[in-house]
Chains A and B, each alone.
Chain A
Amino acid sequence: MSHVKLLTMEGISKSFGKAVVALDDVRFELEKGEIHALLGENGAGKSTLIKVLTGVEERDEGEVELEGEKIHPRSTNEAQQIGISTVYQEVNLCPNLSVAENIYIGRAPRQKFGGIDWARMNKDAEELLGRFDLKLDVTKSLDNYSVAIQQMVAIARASDIKARVLILDEPTSSLSNVEVDKLFSIMKRLRQEGMGIIFVTHFLDQVYEVTDRITVLRNGRYIGTYKTSELTRMELVSKMIGKDYASLNKSLQESREEKKETKAGNVFINMKKVSHQGSINDMDLTISRGEVLGLSGLLGSGRSETARVLFGIDQVTGGELEINGEKVHLKHPLDAIKKDLAFCPENRKTEGIIGDLSIRDNIALALQAKKGLFKKISKKEAQKIADEYIKKLEIKTPSADQLIKNLSGGNQQKVILARWLATNPQLLMLDEPTRGIDIGTKAEIQKIVIDLAAQGMAVLFISSELDEELRCCKRIVVLKDMERAGEVAGDEISEGAVMQIMAGGEAS
C-alpha cells in the first residue's frame, strides 16, 4: 500500500476556560486508504480532537494540513466542503425526510430550471445504497427504518460528499453483529477507493478487525501511533488507561467470586404474565434480593420495555405485578420510586441527565422526588450526599458544582447511578449502563453493580453486549419478540446458550 499523507494535525491544543485543558500538543496523521483508530478513555480528548477537525470547536494552537494544504474549517459545513465528513454516534439525520433526501439534502440534483430533480435523486440514492448492499424504499421517510439502517444512511451521506476524510465516531454502538460486519465491508471498500477513515470506538475487537493503525490519547495528550498488527491488546489497554489492566480485571473477577458465594435472597419482584400493549406480552419474571438478573435479547425484543413497565412509565395492561410480595399497580414512576425502585434509562442524554444542573443537583433529584417537594433537601445535605458518591464511585470532577454536561459519558453515567443509589433503592434497573463508555470505567461500573448485589440489592441489568452480561449476571432471562423466550442460570450460562434462545431455540 502506498503511504500518501492525507491529513496531518500538528501541535493541537485546546482548553475550555482556564482550568480544563482538553487537548495539549496533540498530533495525528492519516494516510490515504487507511482506517485509523483513534482510541482513549473518556476525557482523553478524542471528541475534542474531532470537533476541532470538523470545525465545531476552534483550536487554540496548532496546524492542520489536508493533502499539503493548510486548512482551518470554522463550521461542519465548511469541513464538508473541503472533504471532511463525519458520522456521529447518535444518528444526525432528519427522521421526517425520505431516505433519499437525507442523503442528498443540501446538494440535491437539479432540473433544468433549478428545481430539485426528485426522480434523479431517488435513483442516485438507490444506486448509492446498492453499493452498500442495501435495498430500501428510498422514498419512505427515515423513521420507518431501524437505527442501524439510519446509521448506514448517515454513512452513505457522508461518503458521498466526495469525502477525502471520513470520521466515524462510535458508529457501532447501536448495531448488531451482522450490521457491524456490513459496516466493516463498507469501510473496507471505501478504504480501497483511497479514502482515509478515522474510526473512534470502544470495542477493541473491532479495532483489531478493521483498522490499520492506532493512535492513542490519554488525558488530552498524545501517547503514540502504532501499527495495529504490532500492538498487543494488553499493551494497547495499558496505554489507554495508563494503569495495569490485569489488576482492574482481577478486582472484577474477585467481586464476581464473592458474588458466587452470596446466595440470592427472597424474591423482590414477581411479574406474573404481565403485558403492556405493543411492548411486552405475558411476561413472567422474578428478581430476588442480592442477585444481578440479566435481561437479554435483540433490539425490540422487549428488554427496555420490561424495565419501563416495572418503573411505571408504561402501565400494566394485563397480568399481575408483585413487589415484595404485595400486589401493586404502578401508575407513575413516582409510585415506583416510593416502592424503592430505581431506573437508569438507556438514553443518557435525553432521559437521564439534566445538563445545565450541577452534579450535586443531578444527584439530589431522585431523592427529592421521593421525599416529596415540600421536604426540601438542604444544600448542605445534598452536598454531603454528592461528595460521598463522588468519592465512592470515583467520579472524576473538580467539584460537585461542576455542570454535568461538562463531564465525560462515563462520569455522567456514574452521576446517574449516584442519583438512584442516593434513594437507597431495593431494586436497581440499569438499561445499557455502559454504552459508549471506555473499558476502564466500564469495568468499574460492572464492579459497582456486582458489589451492590452482594450487599443485598436486587439488580436488573440490561445490556446488548453479551459478554458484559455473562460477567455480571448469575441468571439471564432471554426475550424474543416481546415475550420471554428462555432462561439460563449458573453453570449453563454461556454465550452460545443465550444466542441459541435468541435465535429461537434452534441449534446454531
Chain B
Amino acid sequence: MSRIKNLRIKNVSLTMTIVLFLVMFIFGSARYDHFFSLSTFLNLFNDNAYLMIAGIGITFVLITGGIDISISSTIAFTGVFMAFCLEKGMPSYVVIPIALLIGVIVGAVQGSLIHYYKLQPFIVTLAGQFLMRGLCVVISEASIPITDPFFKFMALGRISIKLGDSKALNGKIYYYVLIFAAVLVTGLYVLKKTAFGRAIYAIGGSEQSAELMGLNVARTKIGAYIISSFCAALAGVVFSFYTLAGYGLQNMGMELDAISSAVIGGTLLTGGVGSVFGTAVGAMIQGIIQTIVTYENLNTWWTKVTIAGLLCFFIVVQRIITVRADAMKGKAAAAA
C-alpha cells in the first residue's frame, strides 16, 4: 500500500518536472560558457512572467475539468486597449484597473454561459477568443507604442540580487516579476487554504458529488473562469510592461503554451489534479528550452518541437502511473 502512496500522480509529475528542470539547467551549464549563472535563472522569470501568470489562472479552470482558450486573445486585447487609451492621454492608474475589470467581465460571462447553459467550455471560450482577437484589430491594426512614464518605470526598473562576489552569482529581476510572485503566492493560498479552492478540486473530481455535498458549484465554476480571465488580463498588463507596446496579433496560440505548462507541471486535463506551482515550473521548463535553443543558435521553432516531445512524454507517463496504480489497487483489494 505504501508504494501506491509514493506513486501518487501529482507528486510524481511534479517531482519529475523539477528534476527535468534541474537536468536541463545542468546540461546547459556544462555545454555553454556563461550559462551557469543566477542571471540565466532570473531571466526565465523576466522573460516568462506573463506566461506564468496566465498559466496560473488557467490552472484553476483546468482543475475543474474545463478549458479556457480565450486567454491569449484577452492578453492581446488588454495590451492594445491600454496602449490605445494611454495614447489618447488617459492616465495609467485609470487604464490598468479598467483593463483588469474587462478581464473579470469576460471571465464572468464565459463562466456563466458554461455553467448555466451547460455549454462546452471549448466552444464558449473559442467564441471568446475570436471576439477578443477581433476587437483588438478593430481598435488598431498597427502596433501602438506605449510611452507612459509608469509603464516605462515598470519596464525598466530592476532589482539587483547578489548572492556572492562572483559574476555568476549576480542577477537582476524586473519589478513586474514581483507581480508574478504575488500571483503565485495568492494562487497557492487560495487552492490550498480556502473553501473556494478546495471546491475547485472537488468539482474536478466529480461535479455531481460536489453538488450533492452541498458545495456552491455555480459560484466556484464561474469563479474559476473569472480567475483565468483576470490572470490573462494581468498577464496582458505585464506583457505591456515587457514590450512597451500594444499589438493585436501578439501572442497568437499562446493559450496552448499556458495549457502545456500546466500539463508538464502535473495538471490533468480531466480535472481534479493540478497545482499552480507545477504550472510555474512547467513554464520555466519551456523558458529554459528556449534559452538552450538560443544558445545552440537554432531556429526558435525547435523550442516547439522539443516541447511537443516533452508533452507526449509527460502525458504517457501520467497515464502509465494511473494504470499501474489501478492495477495495484486491484491486487490490494483482492488480497484484502
Contacts and interface: CB of A to CB of B under 8 A. Distances in A.
Contact of A80 (B192, B214, B329, B333): B214
A300 interface: yes
A76 B198 CA distance: 19
Interface size class on chain B is 35 or more
Nearest to A483: B334
A192 to B, nearest CB: 26
Interface in B315-336: 327, 329-331, 333-336
B210 interface: yes
Interface in A351-405: none
Contacts of B282: none
Given A94-B209, A101-B198, A300-B330, A144 B4 contact: yes
A13 to B, nearest CB: 25
A201 to B, nearest CB: 20
Contact of B272 (A96, A106, A146, A301): A96
A105 B199 contact: yes
A120 to B, nearest CB: 13
A24 interface: no
A16 to B, nearest CB: 20
B212 A88 contact: yes
A77 interface: yes
Contact of B214 (A94, A106, A278, A299): A106
B136 to A, nearest CB: 38
A279 B209 contact: no
B5 interface: yes
Interface in B278-306: none
Contacts, number: 91
B87 interface: no
Nearest to A299: B333
B215 interface: yes
Contacts of A111: 193
A225 to B, nearest CB: 28
A141 B213 contact: no
Contact of A94 (B194, B272, B333): B272
Contact of B213 (A95, A106, A146, A279): A106
A116 B330 contact: no
A298 B334 CA distance: 8
Contacts of B272: 94-96
Interface string B193-211: 1110011011011101111
Contacts of A94: 201-202, 205-206, 209-210, 213, 272
Given A92-B206, A96-B272, A300 B193 contact: no
B205 A97 contact: yes
Given A115-B193, A481-B335, A96 B209 contact: no
B202 A97 contact: yes
Nearest to B205: A94
Contacts of B193: 111, 115-116
A116 B205 contact: no
B189 interface: yes
Given A93-B213, A94-B209, A146-B336, A116 B327 contact: no
A87 B272 CA distance: 22
A92 B208 contact: yes
A92 B210 CA distance: 8
Given A95-B206, A116-B194, A278-B327, A482 B213 contact: no
B319 to A, nearest CB: 15
B131 to A, nearest CB: 31
B5 A278 contact: no
B206 A106 contact: no
A96 B214 contact: no
Contacts of B336: 146, 300
B8 interface: yes
B307 interface: no
A38 B101 CA distance: 53
Nearest to B324: A278
Interface in A246-298: 277-279, 298
B52 interface: no
**Shortest 10 CB-CB contacts between residues of A and residues of B:** A94-B205, A115-B193, A96-B272, A77-B214, A96-B205, A300-B333, A278-B327, A300-B334, A92-B209, A92-B212
Given A144-B329, A481-B334, 11 more contacts: A92-B206, A92-B209, A96-B273, A105-B213, A106-B195, A111-B193, A115-B194, A116-B198, A140-B5, A302-B334, A481-B335
9 contacts: A77-B215, A92-B206, A92-B208, A94-B201, A115-B189, A115-B194, A144-B1, A144-B4, A278-B331
Interface of A: 75-77, 80-81, 86, 88, 92-97, 101, 105-106, 108, 111, 114-116, 137, 140-141, 143-144, 146, 157, 277-279, 298-302, 481-482
